[in-house]
Structures are given as structure tokens and as C-alpha cells.
Amino acid sequence: MSQENKDSKWEGKSTAQLKNIKAEQIWPLFEDFCTIHKWLPTLDAEKCHQVEGVYGEPGLVRHVVLAEQSSSLLPSNITDSAPTKWANEKLLSIDPTQRSFSYEITENNLGFSCYFANIKVIDVNDGCKIEWTFISDPVDGMRLEDLRGYVESILKTVADGMGNYLSLMAKENKDSKHN
């Protein structure tokens, strides 16, 4: 890797749009920082948990563990021989009014030395939009395009999962009112 690449930061932004679902419906699912495994099947739900801090407040740390079968979805540098891939992620800020939060990866065996992300849920005309921006030091064995693609696929999976869940809840509420 050239010195120029080592000194530069990687940045990216991904967005996902959900039709007929408002930001105020999606936000509580994101606000629950320690339940990301509910929306991301590549995480091992039995091993993801709160490590420290107060729920809903900056300083909260979640431990996330990738499910073993998810390794084929990872960029090639992350699929080395380490048996379990994990990260501790610390909530840096949370703003329910703006429906946004930021976090950083503090410890991991995924190859990140520095990674910060911001998630924001925004109302748009026919639903809502989720924006995920990140800044990271370059990761050995990975290209910026790989990381951008990975973040995009995670966001799509999370948005689809949350959207499907909310649609199902709305349908169940509608059905229960008719019974």
C-alpha cells in the first residue's frame, strides 16, 4: 500500500429507501442499539449483547459476532482463519429528534484500526430514507469499493428486515381489529 493510501481516510455513504413507512416508525428499531442482530441475519443472535454503558445513552457498547455461515459475504481480507469474527461498537451520540446516531468500532478482529459511522433516518415524500455514512482508515487486504459494497449490502438487509417487520405488524394490527 502506498504512503498516500495509508495516510488517507476512506469515506462512504449508502442509502436505502422504504416506501409507505415513516421515519418515526423505523427510528425506534435503530434507536435500540443492542438489537441490530434482529435485522441482520449475518450476526449470531445468541452472541450479540450489551457490554457496558447505559441503554440509549452515549458510551453504550455492543458486542456483535458474525454468524459462521456469513463469512462468504465478507470482503476477502476478513475471511482469514480466525474462527469467530467480532467487533465491539460504541455509541458516540444519539439524537432522537434528528433520528440519528453515530458509533465507532473500538475493538475487533475484522481488520479495522479506525471506523466511525453515522446513521440517519429521514422522512421523504412516500416513506423514509436511511443514510449510513462512514469514515475509516484503510484496511489491509481490502479496497474502498469492497467496504462500500459491504456497508451497502448491510444497510439493504437491515432496511428490508425492518420494513418487512413493520409491514407484518401493521397487517397483524389490521387483522386483529377486524376479528
Helix (H) or strand (E) holding 105: strand 100-108
Q: Helix 23-31 crosses helix 144-178 at what angle (to 10 degrees)? A: 110
| pLDDT value at 167 more than 70 | yes
Question: In the numeric block, which cell numbers belong to residue 103?
Answer: 458509533
Please give the pLDDT value at position 1: 44
Segment 134-154 shows an average pLDDT of: 95
Please give the pLDDT value at position 173: 78
Query: How far is Cα 54 from Cα 52, in angstroms, rounded to an integer?
Result: 7
Edge-to-edge order in the sheet of strand 10-19: 10-19, 127-136, 115-124, 100-108, 86-95, 61-65, 49-52
Per-residue pLDDT tens over the stretch 56-88: 999 999 999 998 765 555 555 555 555 789 999
Please give the pLDDT value at position 63: 97
Q: Give yes or no for a contact between 6 and 30, defined as CB atoms under 8 angstroms apart.
A: no
Per-residue pLDDT tens over the stretch 77-120: 555 555 789 999 999 999 999 999 999 999 999 999 999 999 99
Q: 44 CB contacts (<8 Å, ≥6 apart)? A: 37, 65, 66, 67, 68
Instruction: Grade residue 171 by pLDDT with cuts at 50, 70 and 90.
Output: confident
Q: 25 CB contacts (<8 Å, ≥6 apart)? A: 128, 166
Instruction: Grade residue 174 by pLDDT with cuts at 50, 70 and 90.
Output: confident
Please give the pLDDT value at position 4: 43
Round the average pLDDT of the chain to a whole number and report it: 89
Segments making up each domain of the chain, as ranges: 7-178
Q: Which CATH homologous superfamily contains domain 7-178?
A: START domain (3.30.530.20)
| pLDDT value at 7 more than 90 | no
DSSP 155-173: HHHHHHHHHHHHHHHHHHH
The percent of residues in the chain predicted with pLDDT above 70, rounded, is 87
